[in-house]
């Protein structure tokens, strides 16, 4: 059973694994050293990509039937997905900037799938063999900037600091049924969003089959699988925790833009 | 000795929709109608993911007819690799701008932004634009100081040697500097990221089409041409 983290500590980036409520460093110089969670800076739990292969980040716009209803859409007939850049990713316990003019900025708690093997034309039945592991993503959206051109447009979904991810990359082998995990989001300790991955319109194997039918996925690529019902505006100061059963609890704090 | 490896993007590549005056004008009467309901305010962007990168000279597999979008990409520089100050005036002229971080552009590159034809711009286009090999790149990133005025460049598109389109970069909706500034107002491009200036349509609103067996050549003064051939996708 391994939960992997990528952290900054003592002037360098380290791989660590969870050990009885602490972080056990895996980097050779400090191998075995234990650190408390609040001693480190948490980075996205993802390895660097090779040269000339920036990370592909695919995100589902409407992939829970109840969220589709909430947003007044019919559930889509094929996955409704968009691509993001990796630059909006930040780690656990980090700060996300709320623009001064935003009136509706909401979290989206999502199961994030990390690809482990090059995947092209993968069939649904084989899809789990291509998964490295799972983590939690919070794919913030700022609805004030929504426009109906390639919607959801990148001004809503691809902003600096607006995609917290982590804290752990959990090995796929340690998640026996990724399609039956409870999700919840709390804001300042109050539960605002609850769901279960079993209510996805398109499940993880279907998504891998769909994407890999026309594009090759590489190790380290991400699929953010969409969010259920229950999104609310988060003002500056909100402490937002997105939790997925068995995967982790991703903490984030909303801060004001500095001008 | 080893030849220089073919140029490929290091970072994320962003495309810009509706950034030529001709296509914008053709769309303008429909912009207020559903599902769009209003003209776009911010730049409309899409991502060309790593699987789309195809080097100059590479064969690109296509499932049928594709649209050829000739464009120029601005390549974001590493913050430690700003161009020498001696070139300040030339670089400033090259991008003709009010952009404060103009020196963060390492250079510009020719790109063949391929897409399956799609009539609607409502939903994100990954199925059309993010197929393997759908971004011909290179052959080189040309420093701004060697380009002159980006806004004065003309790109030509030849398919099997026949001139099919001339793209005039003076007819952008947002010029290079404005586009860069408007994009970076909400997302910071990272070193190695590429911002494409957009692709123009023909007079009737379509784009040049090509299919398996065709040879696409995109050229511009001061640039070595970008050549890719299309081949049939394996069943």
- From CA A82, how far away is CA A88, in angstroms rounded? 14
| Alpha-carbon separation of residue B135 from A16, B32, B112, B119, B205 (angstroms) | 37, 31, 5, 20, 21
Assigned domain for B8 exists: no
* Residue B145 pLDDT: 80
Asked, for residue B163, whether it belongs to a domain, the answer is: yes
DSSP B35-66: TT-S---S-EEEEE-GGGEEETT-EEEESS-E
Element (H, E) at B176: helix B176-184
Angle at B103 between CA B99 and CA B107, to 5 degrees: 105
Indicate whether A76 pLDDT > 70: yes
Q: What is the pLDDT along chain B (235 residues), one digit of tens a residue?
A: 456 778 999 999 999 999 999 999 999 999 999 999 999 999 999 999 999 999 999 999 999 999 999 999 999 987 554 444 445 566 666 666 554 455 678 889 999 999 999 999 999 999 999 999 999 999 999 988 888 889 999 999 999 999 999 999 999 999 998 999 899 999 999 999 999 999 999 999 999 999 999 999 999 999 999 999 999 998 7
Domain of residue B173, residue span: 13-232
Please judge whether A150 and B46 are an interchain contact, meaning their C-beta atoms are less than 8 angstroms apart.
yes
Compute the nearest-CA separation of B163 from chain A (Å). 30
Q: Per-residue pLDDT for A209 more than 60?
A: yes
Please give the residue of chain A at the shortest CA–CA distance from B33. A148
Q: Which of B49, B123, B190 sits opposite A151 (nearest CB)?
A: B123
In a domain, B4, yes or no: no
Q: Does A55 touch chain B (CB under 8 A)?
A: yes
Q: Are residues A133 and A179 in the same domain?
A: yes
The CA distance from A2 to the nearest CA of chain B, in Å, is: 29
Q: Give the gap in angstroms from C-alpha B3 to the nearest C-alpha of chain A.
A: 18
- Is B121 contained in some domain? yes
Determine the distance in angstroms separating the CA of A212 from the nearest CA of chain B, rounded to an integer: 9
Name every chain A residue with its beta carbon within 8 A of the beta carbon of B137: none
Q: Are A2 and A120 within one domain?
A: no
Q: A147-163 pLDDT, tens per residue?
A: 999 999 999 999 999 99
- Distance, in Å, from the CA atom of A241 to the CA atom of A248, rounded to the nearest integer, reads 10
**What is the least distance, in Å, from the CA of A117 to any CA of chain B?**
14
ipTM confidence score: 0.95
Q: Which domain holds residue A19?
A: 1-43
* pLDDT score recorded for residue A165: 98
Contact with chain B for residue A121, Cβ under 8 A: no
Q: Which residues on A lie below 8 Å from B6 (Cβ)?
A: none
The C-alpha angle with vertex A74 and arms to A70 and A75, in degrees rounded to 5, equals 90
Q: Do A214 and B132 touch (CB under 8 A)?
A: yes
Closest CA to A167 of A61, A245, A247: A247
Say yes or no: A5 and A102 in one domain: no
CA dist., res. A17 & res. A24, Å (int) = 5
Taking the Cβ of residue A86 and every Cβ of chain B, the question of whether any pair is shorter than 8 Å is answered with yes
Q: Does A218 touch chain B (CB under 8 A)?
A: yes
Q: How far is A34 from chain B (nearest CA, A)?
A: 33
B8 chain-A contacts, CB cut-off 8 A: 52
pLDDT score, position B85: 46
Say yes or no for a CB contact (<8 Å) between B47 and A85: yes
A106 at interface of B, judged by CB pairs closer than 8 A? no
What is the structure's pLDDT at B147? 85
- The answer to whether residue B6 sits within a structural domain is no
CATH code for the domain of A215: 3.90.850.10
Same domain, A31 and A60: no
Co-location of A100 and A226 in the same domain: yes
Q: pTM here? A: 0.95
Cβ pair A56:B49 closer than 8 A = yes
* Residues A163-194: tens digit of each pLDDT: 999 999 999 999 999 999 999 999 999 999 99
Residue B144 included in any domain = yes
**A155 contacts in chain B (CB < 8 Å):** 42-43, 186-187
| Number of structural domains in chain B | 1
- A235 and A122 in one domain? yes
B1 in a structural domain: no
Which residues of chain B have a Cβ shorter than 8 Å from any chain A Cβ? Answer: 8-14, 17-18, 35-38, 40-47, 49-53, 121-127, 130-132, 186-190, 192-193
**In a shared domain, residues A206 and A116:** yes
- Kind plus residue range of the DSSP H or E element containing B209: strand B209-210
A28/A97 same-domain check: no
Please list the alpha-helical segments (H only) found in B37-175: 88-95, 126-129, 144-147
| Shortest CA distance from A83: residue in chain B | B47
Spell out which residues of chain A touch residue B36, defining contact as CB-CB under 8 Å.
148-149
**Helix/strand/coil (H, E, C) string of chain A?**
CCEEEEEEECCEEEEEEEECCEEEECCHHHCCCEECHHHCEEECCCCCCCCCCCCCEEEECCCEHHHHHHCCCCCCCCCCEEEECHHHEECCCEEEEECCCCCCEECCEEEEEEECCCECCCCHHHHHHHEEEEEEEECCEEHHHCCCCCCCCHHHHCCCCCEEEEEEEEEHHHCCCCCCCEEEEEECCEEEEEEEHHHECCCHHHHHHHHHCCCCECCCCEEECCCCCCCCECCCCCEEEEEECCCEEEEEEEEECCC
CB atoms within 10 A of CB A177: 9
Q: What is the pLDDT of residue B135?
A: 98
Between CA B79 and CA A97 the distance in angstroms is 23
Residues of chain A contacting residue B235, judged by C-beta atoms under 8 Å apart? none
Please give the structure tokens belonging to residue A59: 């995100």
Mean pLDDT of A233-243: 98
Minimal Cβ distance to B44: which of A58, A81, A153: A153
Measured in angstroms, the CA of A164 and the nearest CA of chain B are apart by: 15
CATH number, position B203: 3.90.850.10
Restricting to A residues 176-215, those with a Cβ less than 8 Å away from any Cβ of B are: 214-215
Tell me: do A35 and A93 sit in the same domain. no
A160: contact with B, CB 8 A cutoff: yes
* Domain assignment of residue B113, yes or no: yes
Domain total in chain A: 2
Report phi then psi at A192, rounded to 5.
Answer: -115, -25
What CATH number does residue A39 fall under? 2.30.30.370
């Amino acid at each position: 059973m391994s939960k992997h983290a990528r952290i900054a500590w003592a002037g360098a980036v380290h791989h660590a694994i969870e050990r009885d409520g602490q972080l056990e460093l895996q980097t050779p110089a400090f191998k075995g050293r234990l650190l408390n969670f609040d001693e480190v800076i948490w980075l996205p739990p993802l390895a660097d990509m090779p040269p000339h292969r920036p990370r592909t980040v695919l995100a589902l716009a409407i992939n829970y039937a109840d969220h589709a209803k909430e947003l007044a859409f019919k559930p889509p007939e094929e996955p409704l997905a968009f691509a993001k850049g990796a630059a909006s990713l930040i780690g656990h316990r980090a700060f996300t900037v709320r623009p001064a003019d935003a009136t509706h900025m909401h979290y989206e708690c999502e199961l994030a799938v990390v690809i482990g093997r090059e995947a092209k034309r993968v069939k649904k039945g084989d899809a789990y063999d291509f998964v490295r592991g799972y983590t939690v993503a919070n794919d913030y959206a700022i609805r004030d900037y929504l426009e109906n051109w390639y919607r959801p447009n990148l001004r809503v979904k691809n902003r600096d600091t607006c995609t917290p991810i982590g804290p752990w990359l959990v090995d796929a082998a340690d998640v026996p049924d990724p399609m039956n995990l409870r999700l919840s989001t709390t804001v300042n300790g109050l539960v605002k969003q609850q769901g279960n991955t079993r209510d996805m319109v398109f499940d993880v194997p279907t998504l891998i089959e769909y994407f890999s039918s026309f594009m090759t996925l590489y190790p380290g690529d991400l699929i953010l699988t969409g969010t259920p019902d229950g999104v609310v505006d988060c003002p500056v100061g909100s402490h937002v925790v997105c939790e997925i059963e068995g995967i982790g609890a991703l903490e984030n704090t909303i801060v004001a833009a500095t001008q | 000795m080893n030849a220089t490896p073919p140029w490929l993007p290091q970072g994320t590549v962003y495309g810009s929709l509706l950034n030529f005056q001709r296509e914008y004008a053709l769309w303008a009467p429909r912009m207020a109608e559903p599902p769009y309901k209003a003209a776009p305010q911010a730049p409309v962007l899409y991502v060309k993911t790593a699987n789309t990168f195809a080097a100059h000279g590479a064969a690109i597999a296509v499932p049928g007819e594709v649209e050829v979008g000739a464009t120029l990409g601005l390549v974001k520089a590493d913050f430690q690799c700003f161009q020498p100050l001696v070139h300040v005036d030339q670089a400033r002229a090259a991008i003709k701008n009010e952009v404060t971080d103009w020196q963060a552009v390492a250079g510009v590159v020719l790109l063949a932004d391929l897409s399956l034809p799609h009539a609607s711009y409502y939903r994100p286009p990954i199925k059309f634009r993010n197929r393997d090999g759908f971004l011909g790149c290179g052959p080189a990133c040309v420093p701004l100081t060697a380009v002159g005025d980006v806004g004065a460049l003309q790109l030509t598109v030849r398919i099997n040697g026949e001139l099919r389109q001339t793209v005039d970069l003076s007819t952008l909706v947002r010029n290079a500097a404005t586009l860069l500034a408007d994009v970076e107002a909400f997302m910071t491009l990272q070193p190695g990221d590429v911002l494409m200036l957009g692709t123009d349509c023909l007079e009737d609103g379509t784009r040049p089409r090509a299919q398996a067996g065709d040879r696409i050549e995109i050229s511009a003064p001061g640039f070595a041409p970008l050549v890719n051939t299309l081949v049939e996708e394996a069943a």
